[in-house]
Amino acid sequence: MFTFDLKGAYHHIDIFAEHTTYLGFSWIVDGDVKYYVYNSLAFGISSAGHIFTKVLRVLIRHWRSLGFKVIMFLDDGIGGDNSFDKAVQTSYYVRQTLLDTGFLLAEDKCIWKPNLHAIWLGHKLDFCLDRLYITEERICRLEIAIKSALFQSLKDDSCLLHVRVLAGVVGQIVSLKSVLGSVVCRMTRYMYKCILSRASWKARVMVSLEAAKELQFWLDNVRSLNSEGKSLSQEKAVDLCVFTDASSVGYGGYVSSNRAEIISGGRISPIDLMYAAPGQEQVNSFVPGVEYLDMITLEQVNALTPGSEYVHLDNIRGEHVNMVAPGSEHVSKVALTDKLVNTVAPGSEHMSKVVLKGGQVNTVVSGSEHSGKVALRCEMVNTMASGSEHIVTGTQVYGSWTEQESVASSTWRELEAAYRVIKSNVVILQNKNVMLYSDNKNVLYNFHSGGNVDELHCKCLDVHRICSLYNINLSVIWIPRKDNTIADQLSRYQDCDDWSIQESIFSLLDVKWGPHTIDRFATHYNNKCARFNSKWWVPGTEAVNCFTQSWSCFNNWLVPPPQVSVKCFKKMEHDECVGTLVVPEWESAAFWPLITDGKGGYSKNVKDVYILPQTGVINPGRGNNGLFGNEHLPFRMLALRFDWRTK
């Protein structure tokens, strides 16, 4: 990588002579009022950044059309390539182009010699470790600001601090989000409350105890959080999923794998979970399309009601049950495990023993106020059917609210349900990348940004403490509650990227390069393959966010929104996959250097190219698709056959 900086960036842009009148100002010199006008673009004008970016866009397009990988943010630029020689060539050409076009370079800030380490926009890029960090200078500046804020607030008997000082600290913390993630939102909530309590920006505010704890948290942990950095490569695939729900009478949830059958809105249908629904005796059944099933073995599970001491499980050998998937030629035996449960509920001196047969049971303890449903895991089984991927059985956990809990807010109950399900299953969730699915949108907001209500915020912090303790990398996604409300929920979204390729074009390419096995960017009304991934949950989707899935071993059909095309290329390279990629023929786009060799041809991983006509190619979606919503496109679309597989 190499970095460069322009000197007096905006001053390269001349103001149209007739417009200088509108950029005048007065200044008193020796008692006389003198008037001045700007002859070059001035800092502080709202449109200045846009104008300067548009001017530099011409150079960006030129560089990228030649295969040079360059990024610019206003006057700061960075570039590089996969090899040192190519990076040197890029660096030399970029520098010479800037000089030839009349730009002044801040040579003291430019590093033209390519390196695996670079400092850019306050970030440290380390390609040796494949990590992104905040620079040491910014960390030191933040620590000094926090120490100063704590000192000023503690020396005052009323814990008062100038609001601008506190706002400055919060601003520095929030700027770390690119590396540290959403923790910057969760752990600045009380400081924001203090800032909002100001009388004016010239006043002082009282630093609450909670805000002081947040300041201390950042002073103690900012270095350790930054030392972990952020990966520069692809997102890690999800290992396990957690589905939770809460009602006025109880809570429930289960753990399952990140595969097609569990992305069904957290319900038994269309593919049943390992355990049948209450009142059913059926152990398991699968729809056609499942190849095989791997289920985890756990020695025990703790099902705790609030305040209970301990739950002990003894394994009892079970019987074998023959299971046949509809339409499958394979039959396997599933070992079910009976378990003996000793349940102790608070306030009860009695213990009840219940034998569970691989599924679930209602447990009511004499003398106790608590009753609940406890679902246990089964031993490992292998079941063969026709057509899907690995599935790991989920563990269902049931419980009832106390009278006080049942009248709490629905959002608190949803957060508490997630907390209890995760805490009950830390044995299998620890050291994993976990996706939490909830049907409450407030859960998503509170987990990412912290709660505006203290009790909600505290519950979010409880969940994140558990995740931190057991090294659980937790992400949250919203899903609709029931099938009959899906359309209503999705109708609130306007997806501008729901356009697709016409069925006739796909059929032609499917014959040429197919059959394609999965559509990575689709929805339930435009998918070209029976198996597809989507931007958010829709009926029939295998997964939300295709970048969290493995693309290997599939013939991928890829029609990504242009803004994620670069990410798509990197994902294909990372997973060493094969597929058909459809992109617009935009030479100024960021992805263009990735598909060309810089010599007028395509990169070596492009095995074949099919140029699509400009008319009758796009099938418009239901949203406002912009250019892609027109029958005739002002540009051509390219179908590229990629193969990243190693020979």
Q: What local confidence, expressed as pLDDT, does residue 157 receive?
A: 78
The residue assigned the tokens 């029976």 is 530
Q: What local confidence, expressed as pLDDT, does residue 639 receive?
A: 92
The residue assigned the tokens 């289920």 is 295
- What are the respective helix, strand and coil percentages of the chain, to the nearest 5? 30, 25, 40
The residue assigned the tokens 């198996």 is 531
Q: How many residues in total does the chain contain?
A: 647
Give the alpha-carbon dihedral of 130, 132, 137, 139, to 10 degrees: -120
Q: What local confidence, expressed as pLDDT, does residue 485 receive?
A: 40
What's the pTM?
0.59
Q: What local confidence, expressed as pLDDT, does residue 508 receive?
A: 92
Q: What local confidence, expressed as pLDDT, does residue 311 receive?
A: 35
Q: What local confidence, expressed as pLDDT, does residue 494 receive?
A: 56
Burial class (CB in 10 A: 0-12, 13-18, 19+), 234: middle
**Which amino acid would we find at residue 541?**
T
**Which amino acid would we find at residue 14?**
D
For the chain, give me the number of helices (H) and strands (E)? 17, 34
Short-list 82, 78, 81, CA closest to 120? 78
Give the alpha-carbon dihedral of 564, 387, 272, 481, to 10 degrees: 20
CA distance 556 to 577: 8
CA distance 367 to 384: 46
- Write the CB contacts of 563 (distance below 8 Å, at least 6 apart in sequence): none
CA distance 278 to 160: 57
Q: What is the DSSP letter of 202?
A: T
CB 500 within 8 Å of CB 526: yes
Q: What local confidence, expressed as pLDDT, does residue 195 receive?
A: 93
Q: Please list the ranges in the chain whose pLDDT falls under 70.
A: 234-235, 258-396, 398-401, 481-495, 536-539, 544, 623, 647
- Collapse the DSSP code of 134 into the 3-class scheme (helix H, G, I; strand E, B; otherwise coil) and give the result: strand
* 399: phi then psi, degrees, rounded to nearest 5: -165, 160
CA distance 467 to 256: 17
| Peptide linkage before 561 cis (omega within 30 of 0) | no
The pLDDT tens digits for 69-90 are: 999 999 899 999 989 999 999 9
Strand partners, 341: 313, 354
CA distance 398 to 375: 7
| Peptide linkage before 270 cis (omega within 30 of 0) | yes
CA distance 617 to 543: 27
Q: What local confidence, expressed as pLDDT, does residue 482 receive?
A: 59
The pLDDT tens digits for 157-204 are: 778 899 999 999 999 999 999 898 888 888 898 999 999 999 999 999
Give the alpha-carbon dihedral of 341, 346, 351, 356, to 10 degrees: -20
| Strand 543-544 with 533-534, pairing | parallel
Structure tokens at 611: 């140029």
Q: How many CB atoms lie within 10 A of CB 226?
A: 21
Structure tokens at 280: 């059913």
Q: What local confidence, expressed as pLDDT, does residue 480 receive?
A: 76
Q: What local confidence, expressed as pLDDT, does residue 373 receive?
A: 36
Q: What local confidence, expressed as pLDDT, does residue 495 receive?
A: 64
Q: What is the DSSP letter of 377?
A: P
CB 242 within 8 Å of CB 429: yes
Alpha carbon 284 to its chain's center:
32
